[in-house]
Structure 1
Amino acid sequence: MTLQLQNVILEQIARGEPLKITIGSLCRAVEAIATDAVCSVLAVDEGRLQTLAAPTLPDDFSNAINGLRVGPLVGSCGTAAFLGKPVVVTDIATDPRWRDFRDMASPLGYRACWSSPIIIDEKVVGTFAFYFREQRGPSLREQEIVDASVHLCALAIERDRRVAERERLSYTDWMTGLPNRLRFQQRLSDLTTCANNWGILLLDLDNLKLVNDTFGHTAGDDLIRIVSQRLSAVVGAYDTFRLGGDEFAIVVTGAAETVDLKVPAAEILETLKKAADCAGHVVFPAATIGGSRRDQAASAEGVLKNADVALYHAKDTRRGNFFEYASGLGTAITRRFRAVRDTELALREDRIRAFYQPIVRLDTREVVGFEALCRMQTHSGDIIAAAMFHEATKDAKIASDLTQRMLLQVADDISSWLDEGLPLQHVGINISAVDLHIGNLGERLCDAFAAACPARSHHPRSD
């Protein structure tokens, strides 16, 4: 019969049945074999008892046990868990270990209770107990059943813990210990039905790449861990997620009619900017935050998208600060994305054109030069003014590529005009702040004109 019991429970363990269901099945199967016994299995977590299964015991009795701290005088189970060895109480009414709990057991008619610890890796993780309505100790057969049951409980609990640990690892960022992107997606799904008000903050570290490039990735990893610790200290580890790389998400909840994202964002930025020791180097963490509230979108995914738009805008215009999503911001960002995309395509397909506006002396009305204007030609041949794709020039690479294309075209045009004997004094070209920042504008000018008219003496200037 014991072998049959083992096979049934082992099959449930192998199928991956939830722990409480497996232990409940074990208790019912044992009570069917040992008909005089009432079975109870308790878990021990951080020194406290918690009912795993006790199908025949009244709920009030089990609830009274939950949360009790183990000790030398805490009934049979609490004592067995405390001592790490079996405890046989043949008379609950007189045993001192039941002094504080006999009033719970006696009215139910229980007279004896034997409890055995469930031990995994030399640590007590639970107890298996028999209650009886008569004063007696265990028979040899009953002891065999208890031994087999304790072993099966240990197998079931150990498997449950391995599964729980695998699940924990799958939802945990290995570097910081914070919940990861997968767990954030779960939390986002839970927020869909959340009755309280909430919002999302998305945070990007501004100087992680600089730290990695300057001090090495060990320092960069330290920076990520320190930032994670500081974020958790402000808003709690449960509400802080590392999405990957230098990006974090924070869920802000509240009971008011609306959630004020500015307060936690300001506290986060203030906390982060303190000096940090990263692999022996002093680093001042810097971050940019974008946020959105529940009432600004129809869905949780919409709130996340809005927060992402706000973060993008903040990084572009207010790096190192917080920016909260506002209606219409998404349209502006979309417009910029479209401008960047169209301008990149025009550059690849050689559809950027230089048009010229004459510069006239007011006293003599003489044309003394030209201003080169950047224009985009569509596939249909239409000409688009720079104002229509100006948003694209906020992208540093696009701005630099446009300047280079204009330099080459203007140099070619000037060479043609000179070949035709046209009088020419100067041509102005608009440049961007990026060109000045790069610092090689003079060299680029000379290279462009050297390629366009190598036999001529020319004097390009970057004023």
Structure 2
Amino acid sequence: MAARNHEGLLATTDWTAERNLLWAMIDQVPDYLFVKDLDHRFVVVNQAVARIHGYDHADQLIGKTDFDLHTPDLAARFFEVEQAIIQSGSPMIDMEEEVVDAVTGAKKWLSTSKIALHNDTNETIGLVGISRDISVRKQADRLRDEQSLVLEMIAMNLPLRDVLDKIMRLIEEQLEGVFASILVVDSDGGHLWHGAAPSLPGTYARAIDGIAIGPNMGSCGTAAYRRESVIVADIANDPLWSNFRDLAQLHSLRSCWSTPILSHQGDLLGTFALYSGEVRQPGSFERRLTERVVRIAAIAIERKQNEDEIFFLANHDALTGLPNRILLKDRLTQAMLHTELHHHNPWVSVVFVDLDNFKTVNDRLGHTAGDELLKIVARRMVGCVRPIDAVVRLGGDEFVILLVDLPARTDAISVILHKLRAAITDPIALDGHEFHITCSMGVATFPHDGNDAETLLMNADAAMYQAKNSGRDSFQFFTAEMNTKAHERFAMQDAIRSGIARSEFYLDYQPQVDLRSGRIFAAEALVRWRHPVLGVLSPVQFISLAEETGLIVPLGDWVLNEACRQNKAWQDAGLPHLSVSVNVSALQFQEKDWPQRVRRILKESGLEAEYLELEVTESLLMRNVDQAIATMKELQELGVHFAIDDFGTGYSSLSTLKCLPVTRLKIDQSFVRNLAHDEDDRSIISAVISLGQRLNMMVIAEGVETEGQLAFLRANGCDEAQGYHFSKPVDPGAMADLLMLQG
């Protein structure tokens, strides 16, 4: 019971039972009741006042002032208000004050009224105060105000991450000892990505970023999977957290309650979660708050998705999903600006593409089929360019391709154009009909052909019409100089394709000689082109273009087929059996069905696999060693042999070389050529011969032309050689004569 006998105030010594009951009732009142004298000392307090100040009994507060209980600033404010009340006699009603509970440390809001206290002669002898805890109301007011602010942020189209972060901070203000988090589902609907988690440990938030949706994927992944709330009170002992338990323990997280965020149509948008460092269940207030948060978060996320969809529709073609003219100009302007700021001289090219005779598709099958064809062509074009490039549909059958950060060479552009042309012209099957679509393309390049987007597009369009007027199914560069070079390559590419179809290519064979016996044991097949206008062309004049355009694959298959057929013909003529050596291109070697094609060619020609040797380069093998070994072993099981061509010019390591199923190393002729006067080349050749023999491989030197070169090779133990010293490449008949001479 509080003391009631301060001198000059409430002086009495005989308490009746009724007064005892009155004070007991006062002590039971949850409001804070107190009386102060003119010196602002407490003379009467109830138990609620004692508790908020951290005292067990009300008596312990008697005689103290606010300066004994609060910070100087807060005590001074209380003193100033109370002095005004005492001096003026005017009461203070429902003044809101923020204080700290001395026991819990929590901030509380009080609504306080204070009035002057008078005696029987109307003299002021102190003041009476009553305070009511309005923390819950203030919390609700703040929640309402902050909720309004969040909705305002959504209406103002502020970034989604800022909105979600604001929601999470609001929740954490409302609840003690929890960490709030929102994860947002990705476009594929299979994973959850970081939305906002201002108080979660950063390493934990990053660790769960991209978590899969599914059963037993913690609280959030499981809630998204089930489309219902998942309450895990004890992470350490819940099977849903078996895959993430150690991670949670590392960051002192013991409970997690997750709720899916759904759109108004029921689509999954993400998850909302509350974490705690204690084993606990959510209370009723936390559940109500979660319901409110989930609704607001759904509005924010769905609004952002709608905005993204509107932006996409405004900047993309509705039929193909490609960027449209609006986005093209922005991308093109940005690419030109980037090129100007970075002085490494790259090119930005605009390719105007128009499908030839597209109207015939609409006329024959209708616009629905025409639309389907446009979508197929669009996908093919996208597949031909890099992710940093862009394919744009302007409308109808007109497209623009933006190529950025290209080397300042027409060749780099031409390679892409050839690839695009080949993809577009590949037959398209629609409604039981097969269409062969061609295209006309025009190219304008920044900075040579224009300094702004409009000029580049106009010049590319003009170049496209030049291609149309030149017979269609072609491309034109805007500048005459580029046109000339590009057309030369374009014509050569078409000539290679036609040459394969018209059997203009043929093979010569260069003997390979065993240096111990002097006998021919093999012949290398070397392709030649009997061009109808330019005459006979060596591989130097067409192989690189064939590789760039992909024509090396059909050409290489023809060479392999012809070499195997010819070798079997020599055998059938009764000539000594020998191996035929065929060079393999990187594009051939990398194709998954290449071993099957080799098997088929051997079967069709009737040549046994042991009489075929395939030459591959070091650089080809080093592109993907594991794949190379697998491919070589598959063919080796058939009996095919392998040689490393141009050995010494690549970068293969000894450990890699040991793993390759290779029977022969071929010394590049560049080392043999300078044997007479280059000590380094002599050392390299000696080392290669020694290496090959240690690895149980045969070593053959190519380009042997002089007796001196041959003498050095023999003196150093080289096994085999080929070159003009023995024979130039000869036709099949002359090769047969050489074999007959040695019997």
Match of 1:166 in 2: 310
Alignment CA distance shift 1:65-1:197 (3 Å): farther
Counterpart amino acid of residue 202 in structure 1: F
Counterpart amino acid of residue 414 in structure 2: K
How far does residue 279 in structure 1 lie from its aligned partner after superposition? Answer: 6.4
Matches of 2:414 and 2:312, distance apart in 1: 32
Match of 2:184 in 1: 43
After TM superposition, the structure 1 stretch with the greater mean CA deviation from structure 2, 316-325 or 162-171, is: 316-325
SS in 1 for 2:272: strand
- What pairs up with 1:284-323 in 2 under 5 angstroms? 284-294=436-446, 296-297=448-449, 299=451, 301=453, 303-323=456-476
Match of 2:286 in 1: 142
Counterpart amino acid of residue 203 in structure 2: D
SS in 2 for 1:32: helix
Spell out, residue by residue over 1:342-392, the C-alpha distance to the aligned partner (whole angstroms, 9 max, x if none).
xxxxxxxxxxxxxxxxxxxxxxxxxxxxxxxxxxxxxxxxxxxxxxxxxxx
Match of 2:245 in 1: 102
Preserved CA contact (<8 Å) 2:466 2:476: yes
Matched positions, count: 330
Matches of 1:255 and 1:18, distance apart in 2: 34
- What pairs up with 1:360-371 in 2 under 5 angstroms? none
How far does residue 320 in structure 1 lie from its aligned partner after superposition? Answer: 2.1
Preserved CA contact (<8 Å) 1:41 1:54: yes
Counterpart amino acid of residue 272 in structure 1: I
Which one of 162, 176, 196 corresponds to residue 53 of structure 1?
Answer: 196
Match of 1:82 in 2: 225
Matches of 2:229 and 2:161, distance apart in 1: 23
Match of 1:24 in 2: 165
Matches of 2:472 and 2:213, distance apart in 1: 54
Match of 1:11 in 2: 152
Matches of 1:220 and 1:114, distance apart in 2: 52
Counterpart amino acid of residue 323 in structure 1: Q
Alignment CA distance shift 1:110-1:229 (3 Å): closer
Structure 1 unaligned segments of length 5 or more: list them.
Answer: 331-463
Preserved CA contact (<8 Å) 2:353 2:439: yes
Matches of 1:207 and 1:254, distance apart in 2: 32
Alignment CA distance shift 1:286-1:90 (3 Å): same
Which one of 166, 170, 182 corresponds to residue 326 of structure 2?
Answer: 182
Matches of 2:359 and 2:242, distance apart in 1: 65
Match of 1:268 in 2: 420
Matched, 1:244 2:395: yes
Spell out, residue by residue over 1:6-65, the C-alpha distance to the aligned partner (whole angstroms, 9 max, x if none).
322222222222211111110111111113211100012221110100011222211111
Counterpart amino acid of residue 117 in structure 1: P
Preserved CA contact (<8 Å) 2:322 2:393: yes
Report the RMSD for the aligned CA atoms in angstroms: 2.8
Matches of 1:80 and 1:223, distance apart in 2: 42
Matched, 1:199 2:343: no
Matches of 2:176 and 2:334, distance apart in 1: 45
SS in 2 for 1:177: coil
After TM superposition, the structure 1 stretch with the greater mean CA deviation from structure 2, 190-199 or 92-101, is: 190-199
Counterpart amino acid of residue 473 in structure 2: G
Match of 2:211 in 1: 68
Counterpart amino acid of residue 288 in structure 1: S
Matches of 1:19 and 1:4, distance apart in 2: 19
Matches of 2:456 and 2:201, distance apart in 1: 47
Matches of 1:143 and 1:5, distance apart in 2: 18
After TM superposition, the structure 1 stretch with the greater mean CA deviation from structure 2, 111-120 or 232-241, is: 232-241
Match of 2:374 in 1: 224
- What pairs up with 1:106-121 in 2 under 5 angstroms? 106-120=249-263, 121=265
Preserved CA contact (<8 Å) 2:322 2:391: yes
Alignment CA distance shift 1:215-1:48 (3 Å): closer
- Higher RCO by CA contacts (8 Å cutoff, separation 6 or greater): 1
Alignment CA distance shift 1:264-1:132 (3 Å): same
Spell out, residue by residue over 1:89-120, the C-alpha distance to the aligned partner (whole angstroms, 9 max, x if none).
11222222223323322233322111111122
How far does residue 4 in structure 1 lie from its aligned partner after superposition? Answer: 3.4
Spell out, residue by residue over 1:387-419, the C-alpha distance to the aligned partner (whole angstroms, 9 max, x if none).
xxxxxxxxxxxxxxxxxxxxxxxxxxxxxxxxx
How far does residue 220 in structure 1 lie from its aligned partner after superposition? Answer: 4.2
Preserved CA contact (<8 Å) 1:208 1:223: no
Alignment CA distance shift 1:219-1:117 (3 Å): closer
How far does residue 211 in structure 1 lie from its aligned partner after superposition? Answer: 4.6
Alignment CA distance shift 1:105-1:218 (3 Å): closer
Preserved CA contact (<8 Å) 2:234 2:279: yes
Larger Rg: 2
So what's the TM-score if we normalise by structure 1? 0.64
After TM superposition, the structure 1 stretch with the greater mean CA deviation from structure 2, 147-156 or 250-259, is: 250-259
Match of 2:273 in 1: 129
SS in 2 for 1:296: coil
Matches of 1:319 and 1:210, distance apart in 2: 15
Matched, 1:234 2:384: yes
Counterpart amino acid of residue 396 in structure 2: G
Preserved CA contact (<8 Å) 2:347 2:405: yes
Matches of 1:188 and 1:278, distance apart in 2: 34
Spell out, residue by residue over 1:263-311, the C-alpha distance to the aligned partner (whole angstroms, 9 max, x if none).
2222222332344456666543231101134453464625444423322
Preserved CA contact (<8 Å) 1:222 1:279: no
How far does residue 212 in structure 1 lie from its aligned partner after superposition? Answer: 4.7
SS in 1 for 2:323: coil
Matches of 2:216 and 2:364, distance apart in 1: 61
Matches of 1:71 and 1:176, distance apart in 2: 32
How far does residue 126 in structure 1 lie from its aligned partner after superposition? Answer: 0.7
Determine what percentage of the aligned residue pairs are the same residue.
35
Alignment CA distance shift 1:197-1:104 (3 Å): farther
Matches of 1:215 and 1:143, distance apart in 2: 59
How far does residue 236 in structure 1 lie from its aligned partner after superposition? Answer: 6.8
SS in 1 for 2:352: strand
Runs of 4+ in 1 over 6 A off after TM superposition: none
How far does residue 190 in structure 1 lie from its aligned partner after superposition? Answer: 2.7
Matches of 1:22 and 1:103, distance apart in 2: 31
Alignment CA distance shift 1:94-1:277 (3 Å): closer
Preserved CA contact (<8 Å) 2:204 2:251: no
Counterpart amino acid of residue 65 in structure 1: I
Alignment CA distance shift 1:212-1:57 (3 Å): same
After TM superposition, the structure 1 stretch with the greater mean CA deviation from structure 2, 93-102 or 18-27, is: 93-102
SS in 1 for 2:236: coil
Matches of 1:51 and 1:218, distance apart in 2: 41
Matches of 2:274 and 2:347, distance apart in 1: 49
Alignment CA distance shift 1:236-1:107 (3 Å): closer
Matches of 1:103 and 1:211, distance apart in 2: 62
Which one of 293, 296, 315 corresponds to residue 152 of structure 1?
Answer: 296
Preserved CA contact (<8 Å) 1:39 1:131: yes
Spell out, residue by residue over 1:404-443, the C-alpha distance to the aligned partner (whole angstroms, 9 max, x if none).
xxxxxxxxxxxxxxxxxxxxxxxxxxxxxxxxxxxxxxxx
Preserved CA contact (<8 Å) 1:72 1:79: yes
Which one of 234, 237, 241 corresponds to residue 91 of structure 1?
Answer: 234
Preserved CA contact (<8 Å) 2:449 2:478: no
Alignment CA distance shift 1:219-1:87 (3 Å): closer
